[in-house]
Amino acid sequence: MGDATVGVAVLGASGSAGGELVRLLAVHPSFDICYLGAQRAAGETLAQVHPHLEALSLGTELLRDGDPAQVAAVAELVFTALPHGASAAVVPALRAAGCTVVDLAGDFRLAAEDYPAWYGFPHPAPDLLPDAVYGLPELLGERLPGAGLVANPGCYPTSVVLGCAPLLAAGLVEPGRICVDGKTGLSGAGREPTPSSMYVATEGSIRPYRLPRHQHTPEMERGLQLASGHTADVLFAPHLVPTVRGVVTTSYLTLAPGITSETLTACLAEAYRDRPFVRVLPAGEMVDAKRTRGSNVIELQAVADPRTGTAVVVGALDNLIKGAAGQAIQNANLALGLPETSGLPSLGVYP
Ligand SMILES: NC(=O)c1ccc[n+]([C@@H]2O[C@H](COP(=O)([O-])OP(=O)(O)OC[C@H]3O[C@@H](n4cnc5c(N)ncnc54)[C@H](OP(=O)(O)O)[C@@H]3O)[C@@H](O)[C@H]2O)c1
């Protein structure tokens, strides 16, 4: 499959996030895809599963259901775009074989004791958790160079932590309770069809789900603590909206006295001054998930409402790119000492 600088495996290449990884990695200047993993789709070609990728030379490659030793024999870098639990089952062997792993599932984002309550299983490899780097490059990038295991953040936590942590760290909002309203398009649920994700169930529907126990809740709390040094209780209400891509989070925090929209905006603008994938909107301009579609960009906006003493922080991103595959590649770039932007789109598709 080409002579590459770094041999790369994508496990879960037949899935939604895996398909986006393949599409982006195929034009990455330093990575060469040498293994495409799948389970039920094993034996099919990439183009059979993802017809939009047929033009790639990889289009005729067969998806494989090999064991970690077979993956490690050909790949130095492995992206695990697998369901929760399935990643944790293969990552220990991949790490033992010397692979650098970027995990897109939630299997390495929390402390071991959180897994039974929030993911429904005891963690099978708790000894790996202390070394897993939570990969939020804009705020927690210092541990990424040389990291062997990167926990790629969830789409909702990426939006919430990038928007709120600088304001918490600067004391412009109070720690304590943060209420988060989240909205996601249907691709956030993966490719497996279910009765509740069918067109007849989703057309015209806007509905909450997994209230109040969505697994991204403790991840937001942990990410905010890591990135701001402050402890906050997060109340998270996710909603499904009838679009394909896009995440929007609206976070409500207690405003510190005397703080204006301009102060909040200036704080975010300063925090992300040189960051290529964060667009902080001027006071009064509203974010729009549609503008982020197809890019690794997150849009952020912060508004003060002095009447109620509330700071409203809004983030918007493409769940499959900055919320998954794009951020995973950004993390891999930094882990391996490559330019952060390498192979990543900063221009959206619009309208
Ligand atoms: N979709 C998003 O917006 C998004 C955003 C952030 C993070 N993530 C995370 O990324 C991961 C993948 O999500 P997705 O949306 O791409 O899901 P998906 O479309 O359902 O894809 C899952 C992939 O995993 C493979 N797979 C399932 N069980 C497996 C097993 N036991 N061993 C090996 N391969 C297995 C599937 O292969 P077959 O289909 O061939 O069986 C498929 O390729 C999840 O952990 C998800 O939470 C997703």
pLDDT tens for residues 164-216? 999 999 999 999 999 999 999 999 988 998 999 999 999 999 999 999 999 99
Look at residue 4 and tell me whether its pLDDT is greater than 70: no
Task: Give the mean pLDDT of 35-61.
Answer: 97
Q: What is the pLDDT of residues 142-156, one digit of tens each?
A: 999 999 999 999 999
Nearest-CA residue for atom 6 of ligand 1 = 324
How high does pLDDT run on average in the chain?
Answer: 96
pLDDT at 52: 97
Cα of 155 from ligand 1 centre, angstroms: 14
Confidence band for 2, pLDDT divided at 50, 70 and 90? very low
Contact 207, 242 (CB under 8 A): no
Q: What is the pLDDT of residues 289-334, one digit of tens each?
A: 999 999 999 999 999 999 999 999 999 999 999 999 999 999 999 9
pLDDT at 153: 98
Element holding 6 (H helix, E strand): strand 6-11
Look at residue 252 and tell me whether its pLDDT is greater than 60: yes
Ligand 1: lining residues by beta carbon, under 6 Å: 12, 14-18, 38-41, 81-84, 86, 104-105, 154-155, 187-188, 190-192, 319-320, 323-324
Contact 187, 247 (CB under 8 A): no
Q: What are phi and psi of 8, to 5 degrees?
A: -125, 140
Task: Give the mean pLDDT of 242-265.
Answer: 97
Cα of 19 from ligand 1 centre, angstroms: 10
Contact 67, 2 (CB under 8 A): no
Look at residue 219 and tell me whether its pLDDT is greater than 90: yes
Nearest-CA residue for atom 47 of ligand 1 = 105
Look at residue 109 and tell me whether its pLDDT is greater than 90: yes
Burial grade of 189 (CB within 10 A; 0-12, 13-18, 19 or more): middle
Q: What is the pLDDT of residues 171-184, one digit of tens each?
A: 999 999 999 999 99
pLDDT at 283: 86
Q: Which residue numbers are catalytic?
A: 155
> pLDDT exceeding 70 applies to what percent of the chain?
99
Cα of 35 from ligand 1 centre, angstroms: 16
Cα of 75 from ligand 1 centre, angstroms: 19
Look at residue 1 and tell me whether its pLDDT is greater than 80: no
Look at residue 234 and tell me whether its pLDDT is greater than 60: yes
Nearest-CA residue for atom 17 of ligand 1 = 190
**73, 223, 77: which is closest to 147 by C-alpha?**
77
